[in-house]
Amino acid sequence: MSLKNVNKPETNVVEIEFTADKATFDAACDKAFKKNVKNISVPGFRKGKAPKHIIEKMYGKGVFYDEALNDIVGPAYDDAMKDQKFDIVSQPEFDVVSIDDDGVTFKAKFYVKPEVKIADYMGIEVTKTVREASDADADAEIEQTRARNSRQIEISDRAAQDGDITVIDFDGYVDGVAFDGGKAEKYTLTLGSGSFIPGFEEQIVGKNIGDEFDVNVTFPEEYHAKELAGKPAVFKCKLHEIKFNELPELDDEFAKDVSEFDTFAEYKADVKAKIQDRYNKTAEGEVEEQIINALIEKLEAEIPQPMFDAETENFVRDFDNRLRMQGLDLKTYFQYTGLDLDALRTQMAPQAERQVKTRLALEKIVELEKIVPTEEEIGEEFDRIAKAYNMELDKVKEMVDAAMVTADVSVKKAVDLIKEKAVVTEKAYEEPKAE
């Protein structure tokens, strides 16, 4: 088995010719014969007992060629490529060039990583949004925790109020005729939630348990059911239950219940600090996003489509794995969403393309800046992977290629370098205006 020649017929494409000697090919044909002879019938012989040369005479000399070629092409290719340094980014496509007295000559075509150019990547101008966590931010988050720790109290001695949780029957009519979807029994409705037609919830306020009453409303002009849009309606209602959520007091006891702190002041300070940390990480993420956008703009490379396709498949596999961790799979996801595999690939292709371009740009910067991670940094990355997948460190080192980890750490260091050298303009965060 040997490499005959190498051609580069187009950009980022390599074609090689390589051989398997006659002895290897003949042995593969004999193996294919022994595997399949039991299923071959030849007149004059019991099934499975015909000699190889008789079968070849009857069915053609190449009757066992396909299986033999499939058997030897992989090892022959691996042998031919063992001393080559191509950075291959696609599966090879194989063809048979010839079969003769010297053996078999194969051809393999594959794509290689493109030549990359990038310049002016130091001093990229970016804008960083600075947002300060406020007491109001902390209060809002604490209120959410407070609501989660509330308890529901049944009311029997007063009328319904805004904010109460009510249980009602309703039966709706337009022009005296009941309409689809306008009837329900023992329906739970929080007054003031705005989940019903405007004006509906307000007319329950003041009613007592057991009251039967009419609610008069008009459907909005933009209502989703066109046959009801803009029309007046009457709902015949009955109020069965009134409840409300009793919120705990915001005191030291509350802090002890929901956190590791002994006082409410310490708890609130911690909530505020965590919000600030989130704001800071968001700002850093936005800066990194701007830097990546700039690097992609500066990247010069003719990127072969198989690189994008392969990364798209990686995205699909990762998505499938995440679904499985939640007890789902792609088949179920497609049933829920109406998508199919091709639609999912189309959805993920832009993100995959961005990932490929980002990686190429950063790898080139690693090369240009001669970035080499330390053993300590590589060890820290292995530790991070082990913790992320809840695996033993030794197992991770057995399963994960050290060269890949080294490359990943190098790329991260390249990002840190570009961020360090970026020209950052800070601006204060502005609350989005309500529409």
CATH of the domain at 27: 3.30.70.1050
As a whole number of Å, the CA-based R_g of the chain is 35
Confidence of residue 431 (pLDDT cuts 50, 70, 90): confident
Averaged over 414-424, what is the pLDDT?
96
| pLDDT on residue 274 | 97
Answer whether residue 434 shows pLDDT above 70: no
| pLDDT on residue 132 | 96
Confidence of residue 216 (pLDDT cuts 50, 70, 90): very high
> In terms of domains, do 269 and 385 share one?
yes
In the Cβ-directed half-sphere of 22, how many Cα atoms lie within 13 Å? 4
Which among 85, 111, 137 is the end of a domain?
111
Range of the domain at 285: 262-428
Q: Could you tell me how many helices (H) and strands (E) the chain has, helices first?
A: 12, 11
Residue 382 corresponds to which amino acid? F
> In terms of domains, do 329 and 421 share one?
yes
Averaged over 218-230, what is the pLDDT?
89
In a domain, 131, yes or no: no
Answer whether residue 353 shows pLDDT above 80: yes
Percent of the chain, pLDDT > 90? Answer: 83
Find out whether 361 and 299 touch, Cβ atoms under 8 Å.
yes
In a domain, 145, yes or no: no
| pLDDT on residue 435 | 56
DSSP bridge pairs for 96: 106
CATH of the domain at 228: 3.10.50.40
C-alpha to C-alpha distance for 80 and 71, rounded to whole angstroms: 16
Give the containing element (helix H, strand E) for 25: helix 22-36
To the nearest 10 degrees (0 to 180), the angle between helices 402-421 and 264-298 is 90
Query: 125-130 and 212-218: which strand pairing?
Result: unpaired
In a domain, 298, yes or no: yes
> Considering Cα of 272, then 277, then 278, then 280, what sign does the dihedral take?
positive
Answer whether residue 265 shows pLDDT above 80: yes
In a domain, 135, yes or no: no
In a domain, 254, yes or no: no
> In terms of domains, do 164 and 237 share one?
yes
> In terms of domains, do 215 and 275 share one?
no
> In terms of domains, do 155 and 286 share one?
no
Distances (CA, A) of 53 to 27, 57, 58, 59, 98: 14, 6, 9, 10, 21
Q: What's the domain count of the chain? A: 3
| DSSP one-letter code for 413 | H
In a domain, 383, yes or no: yes
> In terms of domains, do 296 and 413 share one?
yes
- For tokens 């290719």, the residue is 77
Answer whether residue 90 shows pLDDT above 90: yes
In a domain, 140, yes or no: no
Which among 246, 273, 295 is the end of a domain?
246
Confidence of residue 43 (pLDDT cuts 50, 70, 90): confident
Nearest to 107 by CA among 134, 139, 80: 80
DSSP 66-84: HHHHHHHHHHHHHHHHTT-
Which among 55, 87, 111 is the end of a domain?
111
Confidence of residue 56 (pLDDT cuts 50, 70, 90): confident
**161-178 pLDDT tens trace:** 999 999 999 999 999 999
In a domain, 257, yes or no: no
Q: Residue 82, exposed/middle/buried by CB under 10 A (0-12, 13-18, 19+)? A: exposed
Distances (CA, A) of 312 to 22, 30, 193, 309, 344: 41, 41, 42, 5, 9
